[in-house]
Amino acid sequence: MIVHTVADLRRARRALPGRVALVPTMGALHAGHRALVRAAKEAADHVVVSVFVNPLQFGEQADLDRYPRTLEADAAICAEEGAELVFAPSVDDVYPLPLEVSVRTGRMGEIVEGAARPGHFDGMATVVAKLFGMVRPDLAFFGQKDAQQLAIVRRLVADLNLDLEIVAVPTVREADGFALSSRNRFLSAAERVTGLALSRALFAGRDAVAGGPGSVLAAAEPVLAAAAKEDPPLLLDYLVLADPATFTPVASGHRGPAVLAVAGRVGATRLIDNLPLEF
């Protein structure tokens, strides 16, 4: 069932007994989203998938306008994977009044990906908080591919004492390692070849983990440097080895979990990827 208004959502939500899981998305669903819905279905009695392209997460109007809207196909995927309810609201339903009160993500939202996309994480956290209030889930499922988003959502739940569990689902990749993304459809064949350098750099870093953080970065950097000379080139935004809970860079003698994260632009498409590591 698809509902479009908050009132209809709340009526449908009241009819779902037991544990309810939320999978927040911006639509254009792919196999990575299928994995999220499957994981949610295994953990809960009912699954709600939200499909909403959140304008607060976009720095440029052109990028917002370009984002694919494929609700009919998205709803079919949700039905195939066993989600009972798709919530596909309009902007006016989510933001019925000019926004006065919103979520600020502070330092965590200003570093790494946040430095490249000012205001993005504030917009993300604001809509996620709204969805949590509207759906009232017991669990919410997020992809590991957006590792900094995942860290900020976990902190949102902790800082605001929200009564739900955040579950991370591993990144889904194509056979050659390319991380699935709704934006991949914009890549030409040549751009995709260049973009593959992101995952190749991450895997090179992972293979050097025994040497410590410095070795991981040293192994990943040459892969990205070579991609910068390709046609078309990779324009690197960042390569960072960070604490997965705070996204601050780890020290050279770090022991414990870390995340190797990378982002760059190929043509008009911006790509991100990461790998969790253990030292």
By CB atoms closer than 10 A (0-12, 13-18, 19+), residue 60 is exposed
pLDDT digits 0-9 by tens, 200-212: 999 999 999 999 9
Half-sphere exposure of 164 toward its Cβ, with a 13 Å CA cutoff?
27
Summarize pLDDT for 56-96 with one digit per residue, the tens.
999 888 788 888 899 999 999 999 999 999 999 999 999 99
32 labeled binding residue: yes
Q: Which domains does the chain have, with CATH numbers?
A: 2-169 (3.40.50.620), 184-274 (3.30.1300.10)
Is 26 annotated as ligand-binding?
A: yes
**Does 31 belong to an annotated binding site?**
yes
Q: What's residue 171's pLDDT?
A: 97
CA distance 221 to 37: 35
Render 150-211 in DSSP notation, one character per residue.
Answer: HHHHHHHHHHTT-S-EEEEEPPPB-TTSPBP-GGGGG--HHHHHHHHHHHHHHHHHHHTGGG
Can you read off the two tokens belonging to residue 143?
């992809």
- The answer to whether 150 touches 168, Cβ cutoff 8 Å, is yes
In angstroms, rounded to a whole number, what is the distance separating the alpha carbons of residues 116 and 247? Answer: 14
To the question of whether residue 57 is assigned a binding role by annotation, the answer is: yes
Does the annotation place 27 within a ligand binding site? yes
Q: Which two tokens stand for residue 32?
A: 């990575």
Distance CA 277, CA 254 (A): 11
Burial class of 278 by CB neighbour count within 10 A (0 to 12, 13 to 18, 19+): exposed
**Which pLDDT belongs to residue 137?**
98
Q: What is the pTM of this model?
A: 0.95
> Is 264 assigned a ligand-binding role in the annotation?
no
Instruction: Enumerate the active-site residues.
Output: 33
Within the chain, which residues score under 70 in pLDDT?
Answer: none
